[in-house]
Chains A and B, each alone.
Chain A
Amino acid sequence: AQTVTQSQPEMSVQEAETVTLSCTYDTSESDYYLFWYKQPPSRQMILVIRQEAYKQQNATENRFSVNFQKAAKSFSLKISDSQLGDAAMYFCAELEYGNKLVFGAGTILRVKS
């Protein structure tokens, strides 16, 4: 069965600094997708970044980038130049057959001014 593990329940970062959120997953599939979602206090689930497993290149979206290590089954999220608006719960998720997303438990990110 798919499992996604986020080992950091909480992280803190100073405004304008860089922070990395960790995620590992377990799958027997060769074709899958990985996501990071952001959940601010409004509770809305917002897609941050998407990675296709068959692509070697790490995905990037503005200040957000991933370090995708397929052999190690690791998918970390790096946030550069952190802003107050980045404060939220971040979920890592994996998608396989049937479009079922399997989520990690989440990491609360606090941004200090």
Chain B
Amino acid sequence: EAQVTQNPRYLITVTGKKLTVTCSQNMNHEYMSWYRQDPGLGLRQIYYSMNVEVTDKGDVPEGYKVSRKEKRNFPLILESPSPNQTSLYFCASSPAGRSGDTQYFGPGTRLTVL
């Protein structure tokens, strides 16, 4: 089944404790992206990747890191999480950038930083 998976689905952590949220897609998509969803703000892009080893900042990149060493995986790293990073996070993928292709979303990761 074609899908985007994220792990973990739920995470409660404390300020300053490094964490990684994994994202994987099995559709051989070139483009992958991370969004965060906050009430009243919709979804906002954190980082995106046009292909392996090609990543760039989105609208809200502060406090986050990403890497794209393999085409299928695009982990989101919070080196020192803070309470303002409490949010619902989505990973998405599409066949290629600039093409208007539909983006397929993962199931979301609910992160709480205490």
Nearest Cβ on chain A to B41's Cβ, whole angstroms: 6
Of B56, B58, B96, B100, the contact of A95 (CB 8 Å cutoff): B100
Interface residues on B, range: 20 to 34
Cα A98 to Cα B105 with chains together (Å): 16
Of B48, B101, B110, the contact of A98 (CB 8 Å cutoff): B48
B81 within 8 A of A: no
Nearest 5 A/B pairs, CB to CB: A103-B42, A45-B105, A33-B100, A99-B97, A103-B43
B interface vs A, CB < 8 Å?
31, 33, 35, 40-45, 48, 50, 56, 58-59, 88, 90, 92, 94, 96-103, 105, 107-108, 110
A interface vs B, CB < 8 Å?
4, 32-33, 35, 42-45, 47, 50, 52, 91, 93, 95, 97-106
